Structure formats: C-alpha cells, structure tokens
A = this chain, B = another copy of it.
Amino acid sequence: MGSKYPKSLRISLPLWALILEIVFILVFFFFTSYEQPSEKSELLKTYPAFQDINVMLVLGLAFFKASLWRYTWSSVAFNLFSLAVGVQWAIILDGFLFNFSTRKFAINIHSIIKGTMSTMVVLISSGATLGKINLVQLIVMTLLEVTAFQGTKKLMQEFLKMYEYESLMQIHIFGAYFGVAAAWRLSESELNMAKEKERRAVASNLFTALGTLFLWIFWPTFNSVLLNSPGEKEIAIYNTYYALAVSAVTAMSFSAATHSNGKISMTHVHRATLAGGVAIGVSTIIIKSPWIAMVLGFSAGTIAVIGDKYLPRFFNQVIRLHDTCGVHATFGLPALLGRLIYILLIAGHNGWTNLSETGNKILISAGYLGLPMAMGLGGGVLTGLILSFNIWKSPHEAKYFDDQAFWEFPHLAVGF
C-alpha cells in the first residue's frame, strides 16, 4: 500500500466534492421542486420528530463512535460529512425509485426524514470501518451503500409487499452486515499495531456516553416517526421505552457477570444499552403489552453483552475481521433477535389452527430477514473490494485510527 506517510487528499477531496455537488445541484434543478405548501400546517407537526432524528444521527451516532481517543475528531466530523452527502443522494434516489410519476418529484419534510433515515445505514456501517478509510473512500462508500439500500427497499416493497415502515426498519440489519462485510475486506493483517491507538481514554468514553444517552432518549421517536396512525405511534413509543429501560438495566448488570472481578465494561454499556431499541424496531406495532417489550429488552441487552464480549475475538482471529465500534453487537445481533421474536409473535398471533397461512407468514417473515441481510453482506463485500483499490489513496495500516493522518493539528496539541 505504498509509503507510510499519509497521502495528501488536497486535490482529490475537493475535486470529488465539487463534481458531486455540481451533479446533485443539476439533478435537483431538473427533477425536483418543493411541495406546494398547504396552509394547514400538517407537515410542521412532524418537525419536532425530524429534529429528534437529527439529534440522534448528527450528534448521537457521531459521539457514539468517538471512543477511540486518537480518532475523536474524525469520528464526529466524518459522520456529519457522510450524512450530508448521503441525504442528498438518498432523496434523489427516493424520488427516482418511488415517486417518479410526475416529471418532477416534490420535496417535503417526509422525504427529508426518509432520506435521513436511509442514510443511517452508512452511519452504522462506518462504525465498523471507522479509522480505516479516508474521506474520499467515505464518499464512495456512502454513494454505494445508499444506492444498495434504496435498491433493497425497492425490492422489499415490490416483491415482498412490505410496507414502507417495515422496509425502512431493516436499517439496522442492513447497516450492520454491510459494515462488517466492508470492514472484512479492509483489515488484511490482524491490526495489532493499531492496538495502542485503539486505547480508550476516560474523557473520550464520556463523549461516547453522551452520544449513547442521546440515542437512548430519542429512540422512541425513531421507532414511531414513520407510523401514520396516532394509536400506532403511541404503542411504538411505549414499547420502545420499556425495551430500552430494561436493556439499560441488563447491560450494566450482565456486563459485570462477564468480568472475572465483576467489573463493568463501559463498551458494553454503550452498546448493550441501546439493544432494546434496535430489537423492538420491527415488531413495535404488533406488541400489545409492556411485558413482551420488557422481555425483548432483557434478551436484547443480554445478547448484546455476550456478543460484544466473545464474538470480536473470534472475528478478529478466525476470519480476520475487525469491527471498530462493535456495530455487529450493537445493531446486528439485536436486530436478528428482534426478527426472530417477530416471527414467533406472528406465528402465535395467527395461531396453529390455520397452519398453511401461518407457515406462509413465517416464510415471508424469514424472507424479510434474509433479503436485507444478504443484500447487506453482498453489498458490503463488493464495496470493501472497491474501497481497497489503490486510486483512493487509502491510509496505510500504520495510520489507522489516527486523527493526525487527516487533520491539521496545532503544533503542541494538548491531548485528553
């Protein structure tokens, strides 16, 4: 991969951004317009939820990824960068794939929210590739992943007849497996030399806690914003809240059980606390009692702690996979668990009297699960392959997890 000195992005980064923005602006010029505002202000009612989502993605996920003490700046700033690129591209694709009946597609607050949520797949995946790619590679990954996810959504809505809400709730599974697969292509050696830089600092972990708490607080908005009926929104809010409350308790308690001296791991707390919210995402409408949400939160918190404790060692040694922020334990495993419980609930709900119909529904549900996971894995491997090309001036492994490769530092910068 060439010299150990980080390669300059002085020309390529502004050039890419310039070309991209010119293309985006031209597409918006020819194909979009703002929706003619109605004076009834229905749309403005969604604005607070839009802000909650923004706080989650712009602030929450940014600081959630800021635990590497020498990579905090990049974690926070690159997150905003890929969101800003991704949301423009997602809105364009959304228009072309789903709303291209008229010559121009209308932009309103719902299309911006959906664009933002679709871009979340990139923000999740980039947790797995964190510290290993530069900004130009991040642009490429953002464009490819948003395209892949919008395509998957189209497939799910066309062939599996999913509702829009359900197809968007595949974000976690898609993002986690896409990221893990892409990261697999990027870490050829065992990344031992990066150990030192991966050390967590006390303060950087506090920033991560800040991000985690924002995600914890606003997750009920995330799980309810796309639902139309107020009743469904309410149930989604309650379910998510109960699942999160229980998984917060489980995360801290069971983290102690996995340590020889009963000490709690801050990393587990960050990751498993949110597991309840992830797991309940898909089933949030069909759960009608708090206790089911609590059971789900309990098992999600437990599985996230265990997955985070024992899986990375296996991944890193056996298949040489390095998942920087543990997106697999945070988003992948709880989402899988949520899917399994969803299938159980569907089966239980339909009862065993009409076996053929129940079996049918279970098969469809399994398809719901298999499709985004397969598309995520496939898209991730392909993207990882493309990202490993030499043309992107990717950082040398010795410069992984290091802000200094990308940022102008003051001469005598004071650390944490």
Listed in ascending order, the chain A residues whose CB lies under 8 Å from chain B are 6, 8-11, 13-14, 16-18, 20-21, 24-26, 28-29, 32-35, 37-41, 43-44, 47-48, 51-52, 54-55, 58-59, 62-63, 66, 69, 72-73, 76-77, 80-81, 84-85, 87-88, 107-109, 112, 135, 199-207, 209-210, 213-214, 216-218, 221, 229-235, 237-238, 241, 244-246, 248-250, 252-254, 256-257, 259-266, 269, 273, 288-291, 294-295, 298, 403, 406-408, 410-416
Contact A59–B28 (Cβ < 8 Å): no
Q: How long is the Cα–Cα vector from A81 to B294 in the complex, in angstroms?
A: 15
Given A9-B256, A202-B73, are A17 and B250 also a contact pair (CB < 8 Å)?
yes
Contact A416–B203 (Cβ < 8 Å): yes
Contact B249–A21 (Cβ < 8 Å): yes
Contact B413–A265 (Cβ < 8 Å): no
Contact B250–A202 (Cβ < 8 Å): no
**A413 in complex: contacting residue of B112, B201, B233, CB < 8 Å:** B201
Chain B nearest CB from A137 CB (Å) reads: 14
Q: How long is the Cα–Cα vector from A63 to B34 in the complex, in angstroms?
A: 34
Contact B289–A253 (Cβ < 8 Å): no
Contact B84–A408 (Cβ < 8 Å): no
> B residues within 8 A CB of A54?
217
> B residues within 8 A CB of A87?
245
Contact A234–B108 (Cβ < 8 Å): yes
Q: How long is the Cα–Cα vector from A329 to B85 in the complex, in angstroms?
A: 23
> B residues within 8 A CB of A264?
77, 135, 406-408
A-B contact pairs, 20 of them (CB 8 A): A9-B256, A9-B262, A11-B257, A18-B253, A24-B294, A25-B294, A29-B291, A32-B289, A37-B230, A37-B232, A40-B230, A44-B233, A59-B217, A62-B213, A72-B206, A77-B252, A80-B216, A81-B249, A199-B411, A266-B408
Contact B266–A407 (Cβ < 8 Å): yes
> B residues within 8 A CB of A408?
259, 263-266
Contact B294–A21 (Cβ < 8 Å): yes
Given A201-B413, A262-B9, A408-B266, are A218 and B51 also a contact pair (CB < 8 Å)?
yes
**A28 in complex: contacting residue of B44, B63, B216, B294, CB < 8 Å:** B294
Contact A34–B288 (Cβ < 8 Å): yes
> B residues within 8 A CB of A72?
202-203, 206
> B residues within 8 A CB of A14?
253-254, 256-257
Q: How long is the Cα–Cα vector from A262 to B17 in the complex, in angstroms?
A: 14
Q: How many copies does the complex hold?
A: 3
Q: Across the two chains, which residue of chain B brings its CB closest to A81?
A: B252
Most B CB contacts (10 A, CB to CB) among A13, A204, A245, A265 go to: A245
Q: Across the two chains, which residue of chain B brings its CB closest to A231?
A: B37
Chain B nearest CB from A3 CB (Å) reads: 13
Q: Across the two chains, which residue of chain B brings its CB closest to A53?
A: B217
**A21 in complex: contacting residue of B6, B51, B298, B416, CB < 8 Å:** B298
Contact A262–B21 (Cβ < 8 Å): no
Q: Across the two chains, which residue of chain B brings its CB closest to A27?
A: B291
- Contacts beyond the supplied A37-B235, A72-B202, A264-B406: 4 A-B pairs with Cβ under 8 Å: A10-B259, A10-B262, A266-B408, A414-B415
Contact A234–B80 (Cβ < 8 Å): no
Q: Across the two chains, which residue of chain B brings its CB closest to A55?
A: B217
> B residues within 8 A CB of A266?
73, 77, 407-408
> B residues within 8 A CB of A295?
25
Contact B238–A112 (Cβ < 8 Å): yes
Contact B199–A414 (Cβ < 8 Å): yes
Contact B13–A253 (Cβ < 8 Å): yes
What 9 A-B pairs come out closest when comparing CB atoms?
A10-B262, A37-B231, A41-B230, A17-B253, A8-B262, A201-B414, A84-B248, A29-B291, A14-B257
Q: How long is the Cα–Cα vector from A29 to B292 in the complex, in angstroms?
A: 8
Contact A273–B80 (Cβ < 8 Å): yes
